[in-house]
C-alpha cells in the first residue's frame, strides 16, 4: 500500500521548502536582517535620540558629524539634527515604499489574473488599458494631482500606485494564461467552483511566489520615485522629510557640508541594495528549477 | 422508429441522456468536428465504458457533458440530466450541477491537485460551496471519505500538500473529492492511465465498491478494454468522433460485430501469447483535418469495400441483443 512520507517531512508546504533554501542564501539573509535593523532603527531611533527632527539648535549650525557633541550625524544649515532627520525620513520612505508596493501589487495581481483567466475580449480591453497607462506621462499626472489636491502623504502613495501596477499586471496575466490551462483549474471548474473563486482561491496562491519576488524589487523603485517627486517639490513637505528630500537638500550643500548628502544617500542605497538582494534570494528560493 | 421503441422498453429511471451530440472546433484551418451524432443513455447505478484510441473524441464528449469545452469549441445536441439540457444551462446553474450532481475525475492525478493548497482546503471546497457545510462538518465528511478509500491516517492526509503523495494516493484523493458530494454520475476520464498496474486494480476495486454503496452511475473513459470488461454494463466503442459499436458489455466481448472492435480486442496482449505475437491495427487513426467521408475506419479495415465510402449509420445488428448497435455496412442491419 502507499503510505505517507515519514512524519518529519509532514506538513511541508511549498513555502516551507522555499524557506529552507532561502536560509542557505547568505546575501539574502544578511539583507533581510539589515532591512529589519534599518526599519527598527527608523521606528525607534527618533525617540531615543535627544533631538527632535524639526527643532533648531542655534548653537550648532552646519555641524560636521562627530562623537564629541550630541549631534552624532551632524546638523544642517538650520541646525537640525541630521541623524534624527534621516531616521524620520526613513520612516516616510519605507512607508511609501511598502504601502505603495502593497497597493500596486494587489491591483496588478487582481487585474492581471482576471484578464488572464477570462481571456478573449475582456482580456484585450483590460490589457489595452494597461498599455494606455504606460503611455501616460506619470510625472505630468503626478504634478496635476498634487496641484489640484494639495500635497499629502497618501496622495503620493496614490500617485505612485497609479503608475506602478502595470508591470505586475502584465507579469501576472502571462503566468495566469499558463495556469488556467492546468488540470487543477479544470478540476476546480468540474467541481462547480465559480469563476471569481477559481481566480482568488486557485490561481492567486500559485502566483504568490512570483509576486513576492516582484514586490521586493518594486519597493526600491517606489522609494526612488518618491525621491524624484520630493526632489521636484511634489512629495513630502517641510519640515517633514524623506530620504529623497534629504538627498536633494544635501546635494545643494555638497561643497560646504558633504555629510548632508552622504548619510541619507548611504542609507537609501544600502536599503535599495538589500531589497534587490532579498528579491534575488526569494526568486532562487521559490524557483527550485534554477538550482 | 427504433428510438421510440427503446424508450418504451427501458424503464424511466434514465438518469442521463445524450442525444445527437456534436462537437465542433473553430480553428485557423476551418471548422473541425471532434464528435459526431453521439447518443447514449445511462441509468442509475449503471456503468458505461467508453473505449477508443487517442483522438476518437471520447474526452471531448465528456468535457462537453461537463460544460468544460475549450473556448473555441461548440457543442450541439442535447445532454439531458435531471430534466435540464446541460449544454444550455447558464454558468451559475451549471455550477450547481457539476460537482454535486455530475462529478469528474481527470486523467493525470499529478496535475489535477493544486500544489499550493492543502488537501483539506481542496476537498472541503465542494461541500462549503454547494452544501453550505461548516469547516468542521466538511472536514469530518472529507475524513470519512478518505477512510472509505482506505487512506491511512486521513487526518494527517488532510493537512498535507499534494506533492507529498504518490500518484495512486493522489488519484484516490481525487476520487474521494469527486465522491464527497455524492454525485449521481461520476465521469472518470482514463482515471488509471497514469498509474501502475497494481494501483489500477485497487482503484477499479474501489470504484466498484463505491458504486455499490452509493448507487452512483459511472462513465469510464479508457483505452483499456480489460478495465472496461471488468466494470461496465454497457460499452461504447468510438472512432474518429463516431460511435462504432454500442452494446451490453457481454455482447461487445462475445458477439463482436464491428471490425474495429474486433481489431481492438485482438490487439489486447494475452499472457499465453508468444512475445513476438503482439498484434497491432495497421495504420494510424485519422486526424480531424482529413477525416474520411465515409466510414472513418475504412482506410485501416480489412473488410472495407466500395460501400465504405459512405458513412454507415448506427443500426441494430442482424443477430444478437435488441440493444446492440453497430455502424458498419457489413454487419449492420439498416432500419
For B113-138, write each residue's pLDDT tens digit.
888 888 998 889 888 888 888 888 89
Answer whether B170's CB lies under 8 Å from B113's CB: yes
Tell me the three state secondary structure of residue B330: coil
Domain ranges of chain A: 14-53+71-290
Residues of chain A contacting B104 with CB distance shorter than 8 Å: 187, 190
Residue-wise burial string across B284-314, b where 16 or more C-beta atoms lie within 10 A, e elsewhere: ebbebeebeebbbbbebbeebeeebeebbeb
What backbone torsions phi and psi does residue A266 show, to the nearest 5 degrees? -65, -45
Q: What do you get for the CA distance between the two ends of chain A, in Å?
A: 33
Residues of chain B contacting A9 with CB distance shorter than 8 Å: 164
Do the chains contact at A192 and B98, CB–CB below 8 Å? yes
Q: Quick check: B160 contacting A, CB < 8 Å?
A: yes
Strand partners, B19: B78
Q: Cell triple for residue A200?
A: 482568488
How many angstroms separate the CA atoms of B227 and A37, rounded? Answer: 63
What backbone torsions phi and psi does residue B96 show, to the nearest 5 degrees? -80, -20
Residue that the C-alpha cell 449521481 belongs to: B184
Each residue's pLDDT tens digit, B136-194: 889 999 998 888 877 888 888 898 888 888 888 888 888 888 888 888 999 988 887 77
The DSSP string of B167-214 is HHHHHHHHHHHHHTT--SEEEEESTTTTS-HHHHHHHHHHHHHHHHHH
Give the best residue of B72, B161, B166, B174 to mutate against chain A (max A CB count within 10 A): B161
Q: What fold, for A14-53+71-290?
A: MetI-like fold (1.10.3720)
Radius of gyration of chain B (CA): 21
Q: Give the residue among B181, B179, B182, A66 at the shortest CA–CA distance from B191.
A: B179
How many angstroms separate the CA atoms of B77 and B85, rounded? Answer: 9
Our CA-based measurement puts residue A3 at a distance from the nearest CA of chain B, in whole angstroms, of 7
What's the mean per-residue pLDDT of chain A? 81
Q: State the Cα angle at B205 between B200 and B208, rounded to 5°.
A: 125
Nearest CA in chain B to A117: B71
Our CA-based measurement puts residue A228 at a distance from the nearest CA of chain B, in whole angstroms, of 39
Each residue's pLDDT tens digit, B271-322: 776 666 677 787 888 888 888 888 888 888 888 888 888 888 888 876 767 7
Q: Cell triple for residue B63?
A: 468535457
A153-162 vs A204-231: helix crossing angle, rounded to 10? 120
Least confident among A25-34, A36-45, B268-277: B268-277
Tell me the three state secondary structure of residue B217: strand
pLDDT band at A33 (very low <50, low <70, confident <90, very high): very high
Q: Quick check: B149 contacting A, CB < 8 Å?
A: no
Q: How far is CA B30 from CA A25, B55, B142, B233, B292, in A?
A: 53, 18, 46, 38, 16
| In chain A, residues 81-120 whose CB comes closer than 8 Å to chain B | 119-120
How many angstroms separate the CA atoms of A220 and A218, rounded? Answer: 6
Mean pLDDT of B44-58: 88
Do the chains contact at B115 and A206, CB–CB below 8 Å? yes
Do the chains contact at B160 and A4, CB–CB below 8 Å? yes
Nearest CA in chain B to A181: B70
**Hey, CA dihedral for B266, B267, B271, B274, is it positive or negative?**
positive
- DSSP-derived letter for residue B283 is S
pLDDT above 90 (res A36): yes
Q: Quick check: B112 contacting A, CB < 8 Å?
A: yes
Do the chains contact at B112 and A184, CB–CB below 8 Å? yes
Nearest CA in chain B to A191: B99
Residues of chain B contacting A288 with CB distance shorter than 8 Å: none
Q: Give the residue among A234, A208, A215, A248 at the shortest CA–CA distance from A85.
A: A248
Give the best residue of A7, A120, A191 to mutate against chain B (max B CB count within 10 A): A191
Do the chains contact at A192 and B130, CB–CB below 8 Å? yes
Q: Residues 6 or more apart from B254 whose CB is under 8 A from it?
A: none
Our CA-based measurement puts residue A208 at a distance from the nearest CA of chain B, in whole angstroms, of 10
How many angstroms separate the CA atoms of A2 and A16, rounded? Answer: 24
How many angstroms separate the CA atoms of A285 and A19, rounded? Answer: 7
Q: What do you get for the CA distance between the two ends of chain B, in Å?
A: 8
Q: Quick check: A182 contacting B, CB < 8 Å?
A: yes
The H or E element spanning position B331 is none
Q: SS3 helix, strand, coil % of chain A, rounded to 5?
A: 75, 0, 25
Mean pLDDT of A177-203: 87
Mean pLDDT of A28-56: 84
Comparing CB atoms, the residue among A4, A119, A184 nearest residue B164 is A4
Strand partners, B105: B188
pLDDT the model gives residue A152: 75
Q: Cell triple for residue B51?
A: 473505449
Do the chains contact at B199 and A2, CB–CB below 8 Å? yes
Q: Give the residue among A166, A145, A272 at the shortest CA–CA distance from A221.
A: A272
pLDDT the model gives residue A131: 92
Mean pLDDT of B97-122: 86
pLDDT the model gives residue A280: 82
How many angstroms separate the CA atoms of B299 and B295, rounded? Answer: 8
Count other Cβ atoms within 10 Å, centred on residue B40.
Answer: 18
- DSSP-derived letter for residue A201 is I
Q: Residues 6 or more apart from A176 whose CB is under 8 A from it?
A: A112, A113, A115, A116, A117, A203, A207
Q: Quick check: B91 contacting A, CB < 8 Å?
A: yes
Q: Quick check: A1 contacting B, CB < 8 Å?
A: yes
Q: Quick check: B244 contacting A, CB < 8 Å?
A: no
How many angstroms separate the CA atoms of B267 and A212, rounded? Answer: 53
Do the chains contact at A192 and B177, CB–CB below 8 Å? no
Q: Is the peptide bond before A239 cis (omega within 30 degrees of 0)?
A: yes
| In chain B, residues 12-71 whose CB comes closer than 8 Å to chain A | 66, 68, 71
Comparing CB atoms, the residue among A13, A190, A194 nearest residue B68 is A190
Each residue's pLDDT tens digit, A63-118: 677 766 776 777 777 778 788 888 888 888 888 888 989 999 999 999 999 999 98
Do the chains contact at A208 and B116, CB–CB below 8 Å? yes
Strand partners, B40: B18
* ipTM over cut 0.90: no
How many angstroms separate the CA atoms of B292 and B35, rounded? Answer: 14
Comparing CB atoms, the residue among B125, B157, B163 nearest residue A4 is B157
Amino acid at each position: 500500500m502507499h503510505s505517507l512520507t515519514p512524519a518529519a517531512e509532514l506538513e511541508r508546504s511549498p513555502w516551507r521548502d522555499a524557506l529552507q533554501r532561502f536560509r542557505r542564501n547568505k546575501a539574502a539573509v544578511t539583507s533581510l536582517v539589515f532591512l529589519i535593523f534599518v526599519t527598527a532603527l527608523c521606528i525607534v531611533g527618533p525617540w531615543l535620540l535627544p533631538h527632535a527632527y524639526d527643532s533648531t539648535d542655534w548653537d550648532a549650525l552646519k555641524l560636521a558629524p562627530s562623537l564629541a557633541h550630541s549631534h552624532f550625524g551632524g546638523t544642517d544649515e538650520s541646525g537640525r539634527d541630521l541623524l534624527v532627520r534621516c531616521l524620520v525620513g526613513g520612516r516616510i520612505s519605507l512607508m511609501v515604499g511598502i504601502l505603495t508596493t502593497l497597493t500596486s501589487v494587489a491591483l496588478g495581481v487582481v487585474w492581471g489574473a482576471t484578464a488572464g483567466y477570462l481571456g478573449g475580449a475582456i482580456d484585450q480591453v483590460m490589457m489595452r488599458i494597461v498599455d494606455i497607462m504606460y503611455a501616460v506621462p506619470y510625472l505630468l499626472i503626478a504634478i496635476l494631482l498634487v496641484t489640484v489636491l494639495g500635497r499629502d502623504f497618501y496622495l503620493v502613495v496614490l500617485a505612485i500606485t497609479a503608475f506602478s501596477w502595470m508591470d505586475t499586471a502584465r507579469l501576472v496575466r502571462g503566468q495566469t494564461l499558463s495556469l488556467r490551462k492546468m488540470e487543477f483549474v479544470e478540476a476546480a471548474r468540474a467541481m462547480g467552483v465559480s469563476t471569481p473563486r477559481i481566480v482568488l482561491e486557485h490561481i492567486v496562491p500559485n502566483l504568490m511566489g512570483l509576486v513576492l519576488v516582484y514586490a521586493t524589487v518594486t519597493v526600491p523603485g517606489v522609494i526612488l520615485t518618491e525621491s524624484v517627486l520630493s526632489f521636484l517639490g511634489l512629495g513630502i513637505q517641510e519640515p517633514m522629510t524623506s530620504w529623497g528630500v534629504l538627498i536633494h537638500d544635501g546635494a545643494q550643500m555638497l561643497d560646504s557640508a558633504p555629510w548632508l548628502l552622504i548619510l541619507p544617500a548611504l542609507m537609501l542605497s544600502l536599503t535599495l541594495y538589500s531589497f534587490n538582494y532579498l528579491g534575488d534570494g526569494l526568486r532562487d528560493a521559490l524557483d527550485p528549477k534554477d538550482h | 422508429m427504433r428510438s421510440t421503441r427503446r424508450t418504451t422498453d427501458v424503464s424511466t429511471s434514465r438518469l442521463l441522456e445524450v442525444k445527437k451530440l456534436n462537437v465542433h472546433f473553430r480553428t485557423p484551418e476551418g471548422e473541425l468536428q471532434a464528435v459526431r451524432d453521439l447518443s447514449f443513455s445511462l441509468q442509475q447505478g449503471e456503468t458505461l465504458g467508453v473505449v477508443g484510441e487517442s483522438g476518437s473524441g471520447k474526452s471531448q464528449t465528456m468535457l462537453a457533458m461537463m460544460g468544460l469545452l475549450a473556448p473555441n469549441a461548440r457543442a450541439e445536441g442535447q445532454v439531458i440530466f435531471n430534466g435540464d439540457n446541460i449544454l444550455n444551462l447558464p454558468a451559475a446553474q451549471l455550477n450547481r450541477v457539476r460537482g454535486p450532481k455530475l462529478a469528474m475525475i481527470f486523467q493525470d492525478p499529478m496535475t489535477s491537485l493544486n500544489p499550493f493548497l492543502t488537501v483539506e482546503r481542496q476537498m472541503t471546497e465542494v461541500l462549503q460551496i454547494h452544501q453550505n457545510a461548516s469547516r468542521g462538518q466538511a472536514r469530518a465528511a472529507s475524513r470519512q471519505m478518505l477512510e472509505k478509500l482506505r487512506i491511512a491516517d486521513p487526518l494527517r492526509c488532510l493537512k498535507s500538500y499534494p506533492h507529498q503523495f504518490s500518484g495512486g494516493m493522489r488519484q484516490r484523493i481525487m476520487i474521494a473529492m469527486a465522491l464527497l458530494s455524492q454525485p449521481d454520475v461520476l465521469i472518470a476520464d482514463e482515471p488509471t492511465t497514469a498509474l501502475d498496474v497494481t494501483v489500477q486494480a485497487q482503484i477499479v476495486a474501489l470504484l466498484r465498491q463505491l458504486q455499490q454503496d452509493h448507487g452512483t452511475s459511472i462513465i469510464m473513459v479508457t483505452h483499456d478494454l480489460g478495465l472496461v470488461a471488468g466494470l461496465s454494463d454497457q460499452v461504447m466503442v468510438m472512432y474518429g468522433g463516431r460511435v462504432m459499436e454500442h452494446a451490453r458489455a457481454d455482447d461487445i466481448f462475445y458477439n463482436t460485430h464491428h471490425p474495429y472492435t474486433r481489431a481492438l480486442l485482438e490487439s489486447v496482449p494475452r499472457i499465453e501469447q508468444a512475445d513476438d505475437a503482439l498484434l497491432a491495427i495497421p495504420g494510424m487513426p485519422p486526424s480531424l483535418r482529413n477525416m474520411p467521408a465515409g466510414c472513418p475506419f475504412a482506410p485501416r479495415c480489412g473488410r472495407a469495400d466500395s460501400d465504405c465510402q459512405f458513412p454507415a449509420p448506427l443500426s441494430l445488428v442482424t443477430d444478437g441483443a435488441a440493444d446492440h448497435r453497430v455502424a458498419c455496412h457489413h454487419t449492420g442491419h439498416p432500419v
